[in-house]
Structure 1
Amino acid sequence: MEKFVIEGGRMLSGSITPGGNKNEALPALAACLLTDETVVLNNVPEIKDVQVMLEVIENLGASVERLSANRYAIRADNLQDIPRPNRELCQRIRASILFAGPLLGRKMAVDLSPPGGDVIGRRRLDTHFSGFVDLGAIVEVRDIYRLRARTGLRGTDIFLDEQSVTATENLIMAACLAQGQTTLLNAACEPHVQNLCHLLNAMGAQIHGIGTNTVVINGVERLHGAEHNIGPDYLEIGSYAALAAVTGGELTINGVRESDLRMILKVFSRIGIMTDVHGETLTVPGRQELKVKRDLHGVIPKIDDAPWPAFPTDLMSIAITAATQSNGPVLFFEKMFEGRMFFVDSLISMGASIILCDPHRVVVAGPSQLYGATLESPDVRAGMALLIASLCARGRSTIYNIRQIDRGYEKIEQKLQSLGAAIERVGV
């Protein structure tokens, strides 16, 4: 067990390069199980969730080789006949559900334990399993999920009842080796979904409609090895941009993709965070006077989240924290998870002026002077939000349960120290 000890109130400035996109790396690792040839993944973030995924892959009989920092080779040429991913490992991370699609597609069978992950609200698996049934699988839900496709998977039209990212990824991976054509309607199309499709196509899949809500997959007999670069983590980029703005520092973030950031930067501008993007470099100017931009006729603005290309739910905690330092009121409406907003109790204890209207809505009235406090990270994104709050607060803060932050942010304290932060990782 470890904790962070932070001395807040410092202006953080400098230059950083974000790690690879966690939400792309996790399904990409699962996709390696679709072939018996070697798949090489570059720019893999070395974070807790990735480490668990690699352990599960090795447990299934595949080989994992760390070629160099952030570069891995996976060869799944000796999988179990009926794969049974390790139960204890699966219950550590939400992404373990992503083994269902590739293992069902390649081995026609998998016994999978329920996944773990963040406690931010109910996260349905129904969309995954109803899609597998449409493809011809038999699904038994007990203390484990038992999936079988004795006569193989067959392509069909599938209308997803929600734009679930992981369900879309799971069904695309399963459909790659199904007989015939599969059409996914109302599919998710986030950047990490798109990049997973690009990896699969490099492995020999035939996927069309990438980046749209209608994805067509023509099944093939087998997939082969490939090499793929994981894209930059736009959630990490957004987190550091907010951090620089609330501490008053000037920050340069290298290796960004502007197309991933359009809605994020538009929403940030509404709470006064201004940025400049030139090519693959994003700059947050220093000493910004943060001010909420009201809607027409002086109406208090509302910021909400939705599936891509709307504002991502994973940055709601970060935006709420940033808004505590911006002049003016703003309403945040979290539409996707009923447990995400409860972390604001910690911000209130630090001095933030926030009204929790209900599990989905808060009103933030800034700016507020925040003060150091003893905190606990409830999930990966709220943990980063509390870390940002601590860095702009006056005095010392201690954050416990930092393994949650480590699940999504690579070398977090080292990057912050390079920007001038007074942060230390301490054993408990």
Structure 2
Amino acid sequence: MSNLIVHGGTPLVGKIVPSANKNAVLPILCATLLTREPVRLRRVPEITDVKKILEVFRALGSSVQVDFARGVLDIQHRHTLFDEQRHRLPEAMRSSIMLVPPLLARFGMARIENDVQGCTLGVREIDPHVEVFERFGGRIERRPDALIVRSNGPLHATEHWLDYASVTTTENFVMCAALASGTSTLMNAASEPHVQEFCEFMKKLGAHIEGAGTSRLTVAGVDALGGCEFTFTEDFHETVTFLALGAITDGDVRVKNSTPGHFPLIDRTLAKFGIHVTHEAGWSRARIDGRLQVREPFTANMLQKVEAAPWPYLPVDLLPIFIALGVRSHGSMMFWNKVYDGAMGWTSELSKFGAHAFLSDPHRLVTFGGKPLVPAEVESPYIIRVAIALLMVAAGIEGRSVIRNAAPIRRAHPRFVENLRQLGARIEWAEVPAQDPLRVSGT
């Protein structure tokens, strides 16, 4: 188990270049399997999920050459083979379901493990993905330990309307449609920045896609995709995280940001806590005047609120970051998670810092900020941004705190601790051996 030791109370100051967005990197890695031609990717982050997918590619016989120090990956799937009996997709990684479309297109078969999972954000069904595979001509076979997806011949174009604007389902639809015969249309498509980045990569491979960044995608299938070079942009999640860390520690952090056009709603949400964001010459900066303070709404007798839902709403993945700001800010704020049931159960850990947070139902939370906070030892669930949110609270409190089970951070953010140290944080990893359950139980 990996814990983070945080000696808080130090203002963070300096410049940071964020890593690439995991939610763009992983689907793009899966999409490389659609082509036999060489692909070069730049700014590839050294994170656990990337390494797992590259291990799968090597096991399938693909050519993989990676230099994480330079962030360069050269990959080619010319001699790739897949055998449903021998090959298994990673179970501890939700994004492995995005390997199904290229496997289906290349080999006419794919496998979905029963226990495929990612962060513990609540129930995350695979039914929408199965519906997409079936719409393109896939047949589903249930087995005790997996679902087998097969197709008789090439995939065929389809029209589909998602009941929910799912990022991963949208990306799976695009990968199925790219090599299908005919023109496919998807309504209620996800439009997040990482979906737009994924579509840009697909177009570089030669896919014909219209409507990226909107709720309606049209994909005209082609006979084959080619190779390309592609450079990942900065992760907007990480940009917001470092800006918020600067604000919560009363510091001054500048973050490289090539896509300020994605930030108007994020900037306005930060302003609700008294944080002013500027974007100049490719860099973003967050400052506060005096202290973190919840801005009173003009509507009388109502709480100020932060609502998170699929893009172009405020991204739900960032909600824990704003909850951390709410705990530190003077005043009350309501947070509304419109996506996941029960994803805010972790907020009970905030009470160990002395914070007051009231969970009114599975989707809504109210923070009563400005309370005196103390260092604490807290437990993070297996959710990337929650571990970071607990770290943020600790960083703003003078004294030693421990974030237990903080390893999920490594799934998305390479050199996260090193970057914080560069800004002046006193923080370090502590590897703790897993406890023997028999010894714990006393038997």
| 3-state SS of 1:7 partner | strand
Alignment of 1:2-81 (within 5 A): 2-67=2-67, 69-81=70-82
Alignment of 1:245-324 (within 5 A): 245-285=247-287, 288-298=290-300, 299-324=302-327
TM-score by length of 2: 0.93
1-side partners of 2:94 and 2:244: how far apart? 26
Q: How many angstroms does 1:287 deviate by?
A: 5.8
Farther-moved stretch of structure 1 (5-14 vs 134-143)? 134-143
Q: How many angstroms does 1:310 deviate by?
A: 0.7
1-side partners of 2:375 and 2:52: how far apart? 33
Q: How many angstroms does 1:140 deviate by?
A: 2.2
| 3-state SS of 1:420 partner | coil
Contact 1:390-1:397 within 8 A present in 2 as well: yes
2-side partners of 1:288 and 1:307: how far apart? 33
Letter in 1 for 2:273: I
Q: Which residue of 2 aligns with 1:371?
A: 374
Contact 2:275-2:292 within 8 A present in 1 as well: yes
**Which deviations, in whole Å up to 9, do the C-alpha atoms of 1:73-94 show, x marking residues without a partner?**
111112224457854x611211
| 3-state SS of 1:405 partner | helix
Do the aligned partners of residues 60 and 6 (structure 1) sit closer, same or farther apart at CA in structure 2, a change above 3 Å counting? same
Gaps of 5+ in 1: none
Q: CA RMSD in A?
A: 1.6
2-side partners of 1:71 and 1:365: how far apart? 46
Do the aligned partners of residues 321 and 63 (structure 1) sit closer, same or farther apart at CA in structure 2, a change above 3 Å counting? same
Q: How many angstroms does 1:151 deviate by?
A: 2.5
Contact 1:249-1:287 within 8 A present in 2 as well: no
Contact 2:186-2:217 within 8 A present in 1 as well: yes
**Which deviations, in whole Å up to 9, do the C-alpha atoms of 1:372-427 show, x marking residues without a partner?**
11122211110010111111123211122222111111111100111111111122
2-side partners of 1:347 and 1:141: how far apart? 42
2:388 pairs with one of 384, 388, 391: 384
Q: Which residue of 1 aligns with 2:337?
A: 334
Q: Which residue of 2 aligns with 1:402?
A: 406
1-side partners of 2:424 and 2:142: how far apart? 51
| 3-state SS of 1:284 partner | strand
Alignment of 1:160-179 (within 5 A): 160-179=162-181
Q: How many angstroms does 1:12 deviate by?
A: 1.0
1:415 pairs with one of 394, 419, 433: 419
Gaps of 5+ in 2: 433-443
Letter in 1 for 2:386: A
Q: Which residue of 1 aligns with 2:97?
A: 97
Q: Number of aligned pairs?
A: 427
Contact 1:60-1:84 within 8 A present in 2 as well: no
Contact 1:180-1:219 within 8 A present in 2 as well: yes
Report the identity percentage. Answer: 36
Q: Which residue of 1 aligns with 2:437?
A: none
Contact 2:62-2:78 within 8 A present in 1 as well: yes
1:393 pairs with one of 397, 403, 413: 397
Farther-moved stretch of structure 1 (234-243 vs 399-408)? 399-408
**Which deviations, in whole Å up to 9, do the C-alpha atoms of 1:327-366 show, x marking residues without a partner?**
1111111111123201111111111111111221110111
